[in-house]
């Protein structure tokens, strides 16, 4: 008699396309197949002509015992579980029955556990990408696990901001568990936390609901549903539930709190909580690595312990609750044309920014501030009251003006201010500068900005589409001379509207101008190719 074998097969969510090759192979290769009735029906086409042992749902132990018995009689047996057999499936049970009999792998029947796509994965794939970060599965069935323990786990997972996949969330008789779970989760998570309900993933009656923690119980949840609770960063986009790979978020003016873009996330400063503290690593190879320094309280406590032998009392129940940080970024300047800041304003700005905030001096006539806060409006209000001009950063318009010879050549100022008022901070496909110079000297270099406006003899000269980088860098093209002041703002608004409407995402203004050739009647001129020169010394 040949030795028998048990395959413990996870066949995935239900359809054949999502079953692994090895799972199919094992089932086809088996003399008999043992499983819960519904599962047998799902794989019916693979099991024709085989001995079948169908059992009810609660007869798991007898299924395992039957498998062992048959294998001991020399048969190849597949015990099938939905999803992965190692997760709330039959794998552990088969081992338990074998262990009871004193089975050892070397002498006894062989066992092969075949992994499958578990509900957390199949359901997540149908929702989008909600399980991108640390996640856990919790079964709400208190059939074999005390309810107290399940609640403790739900609470722990909620506090630690795990993405949670709830298996066995509800059945005909078990209806209170999911309500209690929602209550616990709401104590630690935002009611608006995205929640996906997936019923019968990849089966005939597949049904998907995307809701939130607050409203999740208003939808049908049953035995075949997996409930996926997002973490603090999970969001919906275009009907998809997505958890970004990383925690730091950012506010910019005029936009809701948003996750960092993937490239921003790679920067060290995007991880202020990390061991490196978000600071640049300065490696000094001459110094041996030191153990991490204690803070002064820890040092004092250790000293106290050495003297008295008494460990300091720790405040009870100090379980850290995860708090997400958000970085607020914005631009601040003394005004469109005003370039002077007084000491009081500077001191106030420093106070608002705080020790951890950061300021960078930019090429666009503003300071860019970046600080951690959950109250961006309070900050901007305070600074505005103190006379600062606040603008958003990112892909927006910056109006850069000269200082109008310290305000002496003031005729153009109202137009610069009106442009700031109408266009400053407006979202555009790619960040753009509108340079505004108050006289024909143009000493602030407006012609090197995306749009250059120069006030000269009571009218405006207009330059469009400077390209300041690359081998074919060039200034803005002169497209209009002597534009009358009453036309300026309207013309600019129309140009920007067209760019906003027809520009491709991330398309710089000069590229846009070249692509569409004509903006509001202003014609693009082909730029001359750089002339290759012979190097006389060669």
Q: CA nearest 250: which of 339, 343, 147, 325?
A: 325
Q: How far apart are CA 162 and CA 473, in angstroms?
A: 50
Q: Which residue stretch of 18-26, 151-159, 223-231, 250-258 sits at the interface with ligand SAH (rule: CB under 6 A)?
A: 223-231
Under rule CB under 6 A, residue 251 binds ligand SAH: no
Query: Which CB, 225 or 252, lies closer to ligand SAH?
Result: 225
Secondary element (H or E) of residue 372:
strand 367-372
Question: Which of 5, 6, 7, 14 touches ligand SAH (CB under 6 A)?
Answer: 14
Q: Which residue stretch of 79-87, 174-182, 459-467, 506-514 sits at the interface with ligand SAH (rule: CB under 6 A)?
A: 79-87
Question: Which of 226, 248, 333, 420 touches ligand SAH (CB under 6 A)?
Answer: 226
Secondary element (H or E) of residue 348:
helix 343-353
Distance of CA 118 to the CA centre of its chain: 23
Q: Which residue stretch of 30-38, 77-85, 257-265, 446-454 sits at the interface with ligand SAH (rule: CB under 6 A)?
A: 77-85
Secondary structure class of 463 (helix, strand, coil): strand
Query: Which CB, 222 or 458, lies closer to ligand SAH?
Result: 222
Secondary structure class of 220 (helix, strand, coil): coil
Alpha helices per DSSP H over 73-211: 91-100, 119-127, 147-159, 176-188
Secondary element (H or E) of residue 459:
strand 459-464
Q: Which residue stretch of 16-24, 75-83, 150-158, 355-363 sits at the interface with ligand SAH (rule: CB under 6 A)?
A: 75-83
Query: Which CB, 121 or 373, lies closer to ligand SAH?
Result: 121
| 263, 293, 305, 310 from 297: Cα distances, Å | 38, 11, 12, 15
Least distance in angstroms from the C-beta of 39 to ligand SAH? 10
Q: CA nearest 127: which of 244, 226, 240?
A: 240
Q: CA nearest 131: which of 212, 227, 20?
A: 227
Question: Which of 168, 182, 233, 433 touches ligand SAH (CB under 6 A)?
Answer: 168
Least distance in angstroms from the C-beta of 30 to ligand SAH? 19
Least distance in angstroms from the C-beta of 206 to ligand SAH? 8
Would strands 358-361 and 367-372 be described as parallel, antiparallel, or unpaired?
antiparallel
Query: Which CB, 140 or 397, lies closer to ligand SAH?
Result: 140
- Which positions from 171 to 210 touch ligand SAH by CB under 6 A, shown as an x/- string? ---------------------------xxxxxx-------
Query: Which CB, 109 or 198, lies closer to ligand SAH?
Result: 198
CB-based burial of residue 261 (10 Å sphere; 0-12 exposed, 13-18 middle, 19+ buried)?
A: exposed
Query: Which CB, 83 or 230, lies closer to ligand SAH?
Result: 83
Least distance in angstroms from the C-beta of 306 to ligand SAH? 53
Q: How far apart are CA 121 and CA 206, in angstroms?
A: 15
Q: How far apart are the first and last CA of the chain?
A: 89
- Name the residue number minimizing CB distance to ligand SAH: 83
Least distance in angstroms from the C-beta of 228 to ligand SAH? 10
Q: CA nearest 466: which of 483, 439, 445, 495?
A: 445
Rounded (10°) CA dihedral 206, 211, 215, 221: 20
What Rg do the C-alpha atoms of the chain give, in angstroms?
33
Number of residues that bind ligand SAH (CB under 6 A): 24
Query: Which of positions 81-120 make contact with ligand SAH (CB under 6 A)?
Result: 81-84, 87-89, 118-119
Least distance in angstroms from the C-beta of 144 to ligand SAH? 11
Least distance in angstroms from the C-beta of 137 to ligand SAH? 8
Secondary element (H or E) of residue 53:
strand 51-55
Query: Which CB, 88 or 388, lies closer to ligand SAH?
Result: 88
Q: CA nearest 492: which of 526, 463, 525?
A: 463
Question: Which of 39, 162, 167, 460 touches ligand SAH (CB under 6 A)?
Answer: 167
Least distance in angstroms from the C-beta of 82 to ligand SAH? 5
Least distance in angstroms from the C-beta of 87 to ligand SAH? 4
Q: How far apart are CA 506 and CA 468, in angstroms?
A: 16
Question: Which of 123, 229, 426, 479 touches ligand SAH (CB under 6 A)?
Answer: 123
Q: What is the binding site for ligand SAH (CB under 6 A)?
A: 13-14, 81-84, 87-89, 118-119, 123, 167-168, 198-203, 223-226
């Amino acid at each position: 008699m040949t030795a028998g074998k048990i395959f413990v097969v996870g066949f995935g969510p239900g359809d054949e396309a999502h079953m692994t090759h090895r799972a199919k192979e094992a089932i086809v290769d088996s003399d008999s197949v043992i499983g819960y009735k519904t599962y047998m029906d799902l794989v019916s086409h693979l099991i024709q002509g085989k001995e079948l042992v169908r059992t009810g749902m609660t007869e798991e132990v007898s299924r395992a015992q039957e498998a062992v018995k048959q294998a001991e009689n020399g048969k190849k047996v597949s015990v099938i579980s939905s999803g992965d057999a190692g997760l709330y499936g039959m794998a552990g049970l088969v081992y338990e029955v074998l262990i009871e009999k004193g089975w050892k792998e070397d002498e006894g029947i062989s066992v092969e556990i075949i992994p499958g796509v578990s509900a957390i994965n199949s359901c997540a794939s149908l929702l989008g990408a909600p399980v991108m970060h640390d996640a856990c599965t919790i079964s709400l069935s208190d059939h074999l696990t005390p309810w107290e323990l399940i609640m403790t786990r739900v609470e722990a997972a909620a506090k630690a901001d795990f993405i949670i996949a709830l298996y066995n969330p509800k059945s005909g008789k078990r209806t209170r568990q999911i309500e209690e779970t929602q209550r616990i989760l709401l104590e630690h998570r935002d009611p608006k936390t995205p929640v996906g309900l997936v019923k019968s993933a990849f089966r005939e009656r597949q049904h998907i609901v995307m809701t939130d923690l607050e409203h999740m119980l208003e939808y049908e949840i049953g035995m075949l549903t997996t409930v996926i609770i997002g973490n603090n960063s999970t969001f919906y986009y275009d009907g998809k539930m997505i958890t970004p790979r990383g925690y730091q978020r950012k506010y910019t003016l005029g936009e809701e709190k948003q996750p960092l873009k993937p490239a921003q996330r790679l920067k060290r400063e995007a991880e202020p909580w990390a061991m490196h503290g978000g600071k640049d690593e300065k490696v000094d190879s001459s110094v041996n690595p030191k153990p991490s320094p204690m803070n002064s309280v820890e040092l004092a406590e250790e000293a106290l312990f050495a003297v008295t032998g008494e460990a300091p009392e720790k405040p009870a129940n100090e379980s850290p609750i995860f708090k997400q940080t958000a970085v607020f970024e914005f631009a601040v300047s003394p005004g469109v044309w005003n370039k002077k800041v007084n000491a009081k304003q500077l001191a106030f700005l420093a106070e608002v920014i705080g020790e951890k905030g950061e300021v960078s001096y930019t090429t666009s006539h503003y300071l860019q501030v970046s600080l951690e806060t959950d109250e961006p409006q309070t900050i901007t209000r305070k600074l505005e009251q103190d006379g600062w001009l606040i603008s958003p950063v990112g892909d927006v318009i910056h109006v850069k003006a000269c200082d109008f010879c310290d305000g002496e050549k003031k005729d153009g100022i109202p137009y610069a201010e009106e442009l700031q008022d109408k266009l400053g901070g407006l979202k555009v496909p790619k960040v753009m500068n509108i340079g505004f110079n108050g006289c024909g000297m143009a000493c602030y270099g407006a012609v090197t900005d995306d749009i250059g406006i120069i006030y000269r003899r009571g009218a405006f000269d207009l330059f469009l589409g400077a390209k300041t980088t690359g081998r074919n860098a060039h200034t803005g093209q002169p497209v209009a001379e002597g534009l009358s002041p009453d036309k300026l703002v309207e013309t600019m608004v129309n140009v920007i509207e067209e760019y906003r409407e027809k520009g491709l995402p991330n398309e710089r203004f000069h590229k846009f101008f070249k692509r569409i050739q004509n903006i509001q009647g202003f014609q693009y001129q082909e730029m001359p190719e750089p002339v290759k020169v012979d190097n006389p010394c060669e």
